């Protein structure tokens, strides 16, 4: 898994980088086909914004979260991404099997 963390109008300190890395590694525990994660940390006036794009299983997932605290924004972002990745895994695993035609007509 390749993790890229960039900052717009904010310096990405080692503490922010470590915290973001720890939170984004949660995603790989649920779904092992994660190829890359791009995280953008942004500050606009009083809002701290965290955005992430995950390339997993041939699909791109995107989530964003805003908060007054950057760490809270990263927490919300990781929760949203975790939910999306679990849904993707469930959709890929569930193939919606239907009953064969001869069984359905016998009823």
Mean pLDDT across 61-90: 93
Mean pLDDT across 36-42: 95
Phi, psi of 53 (to 5 degrees): -120, 125
pTM here? 0.81
Report the topology of domain 2-93.
Double Stranded RNA Binding Domain (3.30.160)
pLDDT in tens, 3-38: 999 999 999 999 999 999 999 988 888 788 889 999
**Bigger pLDDT: 24 or 95?**
24
Mean pLDDT across 52-77: 93
Domain locations in the chain as residue ranges: 2-93
């Amino acid at each position: 898994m390749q993790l890229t963390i960039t900052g717009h109008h904010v310096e990405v300190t080692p503490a922010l980088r470590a915290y973001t890395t720890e939170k984004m590694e949660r995603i790989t525990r649920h779904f092992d086909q994660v190829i890359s994660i791009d995280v953008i940390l942004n500050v606009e006036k009083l809002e701290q914004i965290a955005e992430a794009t995950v390339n997993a299983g041939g699909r791109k997932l995107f989530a964003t979260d805003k908060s007054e605290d950057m760490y809270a924004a990263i927490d919300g972002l990781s929760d949203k991404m975790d939910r999306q990745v679990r849904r993707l895994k469930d959709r890929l695993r569930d193939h919606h099997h239907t009953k064969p035609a001869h069984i359905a007509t016998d009823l």
